[in-house]
Amino acid sequence: MRHLLSAGDLSLDEATLVLDTAKELAQVGGRSVKKLPTLRGRTVVNLFYEDSTRTRISFEAAAKRMSADVINFSAKGSSVSKGESLKDTALTLQAMGADGVVIRHGASGAARRLSNWVDGAVLNAGDGTHEHPTQALLDAYTMRERMGRLDGLRVAIVGDILHSRVARSNVLLLRTLGAHVTLVAPPTLLPVSVAGWPCEVSYDLDEVLPKSDVVMMLRVQAERMNDAFFPSAREYTRRYGLDGDRFAQLPEHAVVMHPGPMIRGMEISAEVADSPRSTIVEQVTNGVSVRMAVLYLLLGGSESGIGN
Ligand code: NCD
């Protein structure tokens, strides 16, 4: 495999290789000198057309820890129409000889399109409402670390599934890794296509929580909504928010995840977010190791590619 465009492109062996490689590379984060020479002389471009805190910083830290040269390109505010500007930018990157391009874009399919225009590896860091494969990999890594396994794990993903690339990538990857996913959302926040996804669907959070090992809360993506998808924020929180009372319905071993950014008091209470059974901060730490692994496997040389 030359690119990482969709979590669904990864076989069980490839996904496991990423997680195992990330585990080895995680040791670098614990050293006082957090640097490996592995990607010296390689250039990684971060091409971000959409806002991002964690993902962008994480990819930058990952590339730098492997000694790659990093170029950050923030395209926000560009007045050129999206399709044109993406192709023009791709040609520029191609001319500069980028070995890897990390792209976040508001249009679903943008990463795949870019991969037709550049020779380097394309890493999808979120394309519209479509996919966010490195988020799914870091989530799987975090689950494996906390729970000791992925096979047979019961994972509830709760909230704005309709607009969530995180949910879609997680459903695809977790299915490959043998976990069972239940999506929980109001009917208006589920895509019509969900009937064909390899997971179950419920509208009732209270019914699903006692049967879950992992509960992943998602932000309501107001920036992608131009209609009212639910009566009010308070009503949403009452039915789909994770507060202390609902948290108490989870099995004792269960953990709570969130990809960030979270809206405290909306989909998750501060009490739950800051609980020792919340993995939110660990997810950020693990994100760097997982992105190091993906960069290493895609750019690290002919003998190390994912699949090749
Ligand atoms: C998510 C995203 O951008 O898709 N955040 C992330 O990458 N950590 C989810 C979100 O924006 O709510």
Which stretches does DSSP call E strand in 24-137?
Answer: 43-48, 69-74, 100-105, 121-127
The answer to whether residue 57 sits within a structural domain is yes
For a ligand 1 pocket test, name from 50, 134, 135, 267 the mutation site with the most ligand atoms within 8 angstroms of its C-beta. Answer: 135
User: Sheet holding 200-202: strands in order across?
Assistant: 200-202, 180-184, 154-158, 214-217, 255-257
Residue numbers belonging to the annotated binding site for carbamoyl phosphate: 54-55, 104, 132, 135, 260-261
For a ligand 1 pocket test, name from 55, 105, 157, 268 the mutation site with the most ligand atoms within 8 angstroms of its C-beta. Answer: 55
Return the axis-axis angle of helices 165-176 and 12-29, rounded to nearest 10°. 110
Residues 117 and 104 in one domain: yes
The answer to whether residue 12 sits within a structural domain is yes
Instruction: Give the structural domain span for 296.
Output: 7-132+284-305
Counting atoms of ligand 1 from 1, which one is nearest the CA of 55?
7
SS3 at position 19: helix
Residues 93 and 148 in one domain: no
Read off φ and ψ for residue 195, nearest 5 degrees: -60, -30
Ligand 1 contact, 133 CB (< 6 A): no
- Cis peptide bond upstream of 261, omega within 30: yes
Counting atoms of ligand 1 from 1, which one is nearest the CA of 287?
8
Residues 101 and 232 in one domain: no
Residues 167 and 269 in one domain: yes
Residues 73 and 160 in one domain: no
Ligand 1 contact, 82 CB (< 6 A): no
Residues 144 and 209 in one domain: yes
Q: How many CB atoms lie within 10 A of CB 18?
A: 26
pLDDT at 304: 47
The answer to whether residue 71 sits within a structural domain is yes
Ligand 1 contact, 132 CB (< 6 A): yes
The answer to whether residue 76 sits within a structural domain is yes
Ligand 1 contact, 55 CB (< 6 A): yes
Residues 67 and 189 in one domain: no
The answer to whether residue 2 sits within a structural domain is no
Residues 150 and 105 in one domain: no
Counting atoms of ligand 1 from 1, which one is nearest the CA of 260?
8
Residues 248 and 296 in one domain: no
From ligand 1's centre to the CA of 34, what distance in Å? 26
Ligand 1 contact, 128 CB (< 6 A): no
Counting atoms of ligand 1 from 1, which one is nearest the CA of 54?
8
The answer to whether residue 1 sits within a structural domain is no
The answer to pTM > 0.85 is yes
Residues 268 and 293 in one domain: no
Whole-Å CA distances, 6 to 10, 14, 152, 235, 246: 8, 13, 22, 34, 33
Residues 120 and 258 in one domain: no
From ligand 1's centre to the CA of 224, what distance in Å? 12
pLDDT at 178: 98
Round to whole Å and give the CA distance between 285 and 142. Answer: 9
Round to whole Å and give the CA distance between 186 and 158. Answer: 9
Counting atoms of ligand 1 from 1, which one is nearest the CA of 50?
3
From ligand 1's centre to the CA of 207, what distance in Å? 26
From ligand 1's centre to the CA of 124, what distance in Å? 13
Residues 164 and 251 in one domain: yes
pLDDT, mean of each 10-residue run, the chain (308 residues): 96 98 92 90 93 93 96 67 74 89 95 95 97 98 98 98 97 98 97 96 98 97 81 92 98 98 96 98 97 96 46
Ligand 1 contact, 135 CB (< 6 A): yes
Ligand 1 contact, 126 CB (< 6 A): yes
From ligand 1's centre to the CA of 21, what distance in Å? 24
Number of compact structural domains in the chain: 2
The answer to whether residue 288 sits within a structural domain is yes
- The CATH number assigned to the domain holding 71 equals 3.40.50.1370
The answer to whether residue 175 sits within a structural domain is yes
